[in-house]
Amino acid sequence: MTHPAQIPTATHASSATEPASAYTSTEGIAPALLDKAQTRLELLYGQVALTWPGFIARPGQYEMMHAALLTFLSAKAPDDKDRPGRHLAQLEAGTGTGKTVAYCLAAIVASELLNKPVIVSTATVALQEQLFNKDLPRLAEIIPELKFDILKGRGRYICESRLEGALHDDGQDNLLGTEFQEAFADARWQPQGLPRDNAEAVRWFKNVSKKLHSGKWDGDIDGLDVQPDPDDWRQVQASAHACNGGRCEFFKSCAFFKARRQAATATLQVANHALILATLQTESTLIDAGNTLFVFDEAHHLPTIAGDQFSYRARLGTSTKLLTALRTIAIRHGRGLPASTRPDPVAFAQSITECTDKFAILEDYLAQAQLVSADPPSKTTHRFTHGQIPEALIPECAQLATQLRSIGGIVNGVAEALKEPDESKSPAERDEQTRAGVELGVYLSQLTTLENLFNAWATHDKVPWAKWLEYAPAPVRPTGLPTSAPDAWLCASPMTAAQLLSRGLWKNVSAAVCTSATLTACGNFDFFDRLSGLNRFPERRALVVASPFDYSTQGELRIAKMQHSPKSPGFSDELCQTLPGLLREHHHGQLVLFTSKRQMQACHAALPRDLLEQTQMQGERSRTELLKTHGLRVESGERSILFGLQSFGEGIDLPGQLCEHVVIDKLPFTPPNSPVEEALAEWLSAQGRDPFTEISVPRAGMKLAQWAGRGVRTVTDRAVITVCDTRLSTMRYGAAILAGLPPFPVVRM
C-alpha cells in the first residue's frame, strides 16, 4: 500500500478568476503549528489507509485534505476584522475522491490544535443522518477520542408542555389555532386534501405521549415510524418563542434540551444548512460562529437555501383577523398579571387598531388595482417591477413595521409574565397560565416575520429585493364551501443571498470550507462565487481536484443526432420516436432524465410495450420502492429503465450495471419563471448585463454535470451519457457547458 506521505500531487483545475492567494498559502500560520498539524494529519491518514474497509489512497483526496487543513489553520478570532479570505475555501472534489474523509480528518486535527469545535453542515436531514450514522462511526473506530453528535432545529423536537396542552385542550381558544399558522406557512409546501379530523388528532397526541413517556421514542420527529400530519406537529413542536426554559416543569426530560446537552459535549457536530442560517439570523447561543470551524458539504445548495431562509411571506387578510384575535387574547390573559407587566388595554387595543386599519388600506388598494385574482390564471401572481411597490404604500408599510415591533414587544412581555410561576395560584391554575404564556409566545416569530416583511416592502436599496403578490384561494370545507374570502400572499425575497451570506456568515465564521462534487460551472467558480458572496474575499482558497475515475476509458458522452432543436415544435415527437432505439442499445440499468414532467409522460406513453414493461416512472411509487425494484430487475439480468425529473439527477447512487446508460432529454435550462428569478434577470438587464450568460448557462452547466455524474460511480463502472440536444455542439455556450462536464470523450452521433 502506498504510504500517504508518498502520494503524488493531484492534477487540479483552478477557477479562471482564481484568488490571488494560492490554495497552498501558509501566510499567517505559525510554522510550529503547521508542522505539528501536518504530522498529526499524516498519522491519522495513515491509520485510515490501513484500517478503512476497501480504502484506496487517492491523490485528489490527499491534496484536498491538506488544502482544508491550511484553511482551518488560518482561522480568525471573533474580533479580527482583517479577513481577506484565507480562512475560506471552495474545494470541488470529483465523484469518488473521498471528500468526507478528507475534510473530516483536516477538521479534527485543526480542532485538536486550535481548541475549536467543528460543525459539518449538509444540504438535507437525510444527508446529515448518513454522515452521522455511517461515516463518522467509522472514523471514531480509528480515533477513539472523537466525540460527535447531530444538531437539528428545535422544531424537529416535541414540546411536552405543548403536548400536555393539546391533550387536555385547556381552553386557550387554541390561541388562534391553526389559522394563524396558515397565515405564514408557505402554501406551496402544504399538503392538499380535507382538514384533519380532531378526534384523529387527539388519538395521535395520546399515542406519541405514551411512546414518549415509556421511553420508546426520544421526541425527535425523525424517530417516528410514520411522519405526523403537519397541522398536528405544528401544534406540539418546540419553539424558541414558546419555550419556558429552566422554568418549565418538563425541562429535565425535554427532548430538545437533552439533545442539546448531549451535542454540547461533542467536538464535531453534524448540522444542515437551513439550521445554520436560521440560527445565525437570531441571537441564539446555539452556535458560536466566531469560534467554530465549518464544513459546508453539498455547498452548491447553500445560495438557494439561504435565499429561502432570508425571504418573508404572509397572508394579508388572515393576518388582519388574527391580529384582532390576538388583541382579545393578550388583554384577557394580561388582566391577572401584576400592574408592572400588565399591558394598558386601551393603548394596546389602539395599536392593534392602527395596524389593522393600515392592513385595510393595503387590502383596499390591492383590490382596487386588481393586481392578483383567480381569473385569468396569469394574474395569480403580480411582481413589482424593479422591486418598487406603489409610492403611496411605502409610508404605510414603514409605519406597519414600527407598529408591529411595538405590538411584538407587548405580547412578549405578557408571554414572559405568564410563564413566571405565581405561588398564589393553585398548581392547576399555574399550569394553565404557563401553557397560555407558552402558546402566546408561539406567535412572536410570526409577528417578527410580518415586521421584516413590511420593512422589506418599504425599503428600496441599490440592489432591490424581489417583491410580489400571490393570489390565495379560500380554504374549502369538506362540504365544498369556502371557509372565508380569497386572500393574497405578500412576499419579499433577496434576488440572491450573496450580500446576506457575506455579512452574516463569511465575515463571522472562524473558518469555513465549502465543498461539493459540483461547485464549478462551465469550468470555473465564477457562478458560485457570485451567488455565495465569496467573491468579496479576494484571497479565498480555490481548488478543483479531479475524480480518480478514468473518464476517457470508462465512458463517453454522445450528442444524439436530432433534426429538431428543443425550441422547435417537432422536438417532443422526435424525442418520443428516438428514445426507444437509444434504450434498446443497452441491456441493464438505465436512467432517463427529463427537464419537464409533461415531456417525461409523453415519452413514457409512446414507449413500445416491451420497453414500457421494463420502465418505471417517477411519481408512480416512492423513490425507495422504485430503486428497490430497479435493483432486483438488474440483479436478475433484466433491462430496467428509470424515468425521472430533476430530483433523480442528484443524490441517486447507481453503481455498476445499475446504470450503464444515462439519457438526458435536453440541456436543463430553467427559464426565470419564479418572481425571484424574474427580478434577478430584470435587474441584470437594467445593468447592461446578460442574465442568460451570467445565470442560465452556468446553472444549466452545473445541473448537467450533476446529471452526467450519475453514470460513473466507481473505478470499475462504464457508462454512456446521451444528450438529445444538439445545442451542446452547435451553440457557442455549448462549449462552455462541455468544459464543466466530466471529461468523457465526446461523440457526435
Whole-number CA gyration radius for the chain: 28
pLDDT of 174 higher than 60: no
pLDDT of 744 higher than 80: yes
The phi-psi region of residue 651 (left if phi > 0; otherwise alpha if psi is between -120 and 50; otherwise beta) is left
The rounded distance, in Å, linking the Cα atoms of 100 and 8 is 20
**Smallest Cα–Cα separation from 465: which of 475, 446, 452?**
452
C-alpha cell at 536: 468579496
Higher pLDDT, 378 or 253: 253
Q: How confident is the model over 386-406, as a mean pLDDT?
A: 94
Please write the tens of the pLDDT for every residue from 31-45: 999 999 999 999 999
Q: How confident is the model over 634-649, as a mean pLDDT?
A: 95
Q: Let me know how many helices (H) and strands (E) the chain has, helices first.
A: 29, 18
Higher pLDDT, 539 or 197: 539
| Least confident window among 357-371, 372-386, 569-583, 652-666 | 372-386
Task: Specify the pLDDT at position 4.
Answer: 39
Kind of pairing between the strands at 589-593 and 661-664:
parallel
Q: Is 551-748 in CATH node 3.40.50.2300?
A: no
Q: What is the mean pLDDT of the chain?
A: 87
3-state class of 332 per DSSP? helix
Task: Specify the pLDDT at position 5.
Answer: 37
**Smallest Cα–Cα separation from 286: which of 153, 137, 477?**
153
Kind of pairing between the strands at 719-723 and 555-559:
parallel
Q: How confident is the model over 524-541, as a mean pLDDT?
A: 95
pLDDT of 178 higher than 80: no
pLDDT of 3 higher than 50: no
Q: Is 28-147+266-307+499-545 in CATH node 3.40.50.300?
A: yes
Q: Which amino acid belongs to residue 132?
A: F
Contact predicate 58/97, CB 8 Å: yes
Task: Specify the pLDDT at position 476.
Answer: 56
Q: How confident is the model over 428-449, as a mean pLDDT?
A: 78
C-alpha cell at 237: 413542536
CA 434 to chain centre: 34
Provide the pLDDT confidence category of residue 599 given band limits of 50, 70 and 90.
Answer: very high
Write the CB contacts of 715 (distance below 8 Å, at least 6 apart in sequence): 56, 96, 548, 549, 550, 554
| Least confident window among 340-354, 602-616, 639-653 | 340-354
Percent of the chain with pLDDT over 70: 91
Percent of the chain with pLDDT over 90: 59
Please write the tens of the pLDDT for every residue from 237-296: 988 877 878 888 889 999 999 998 888 889 999 999 999 998 887 766 778 899 999 999
Provide the pLDDT confidence category of residue 616 given band limits of 50, 70 and 90.
Answer: very high
Provide the pLDDT confidence category of residue 660 given band limits of 50, 70 and 90.
Answer: very high
Kind of pairing between the strands at 719-723 and 661-664:
parallel
Task: Specify the pLDDT at position 627.
Answer: 95
Task: Specify the pLDDT at position 20.
Answer: 39
Q: How confident is the model over 326-353, as a mean pLDDT?
A: 83
pLDDT of 67 higher than 80: yes
Report for 175-189, 330-344, 537-551: range of highest mean pLDDT: 537-551
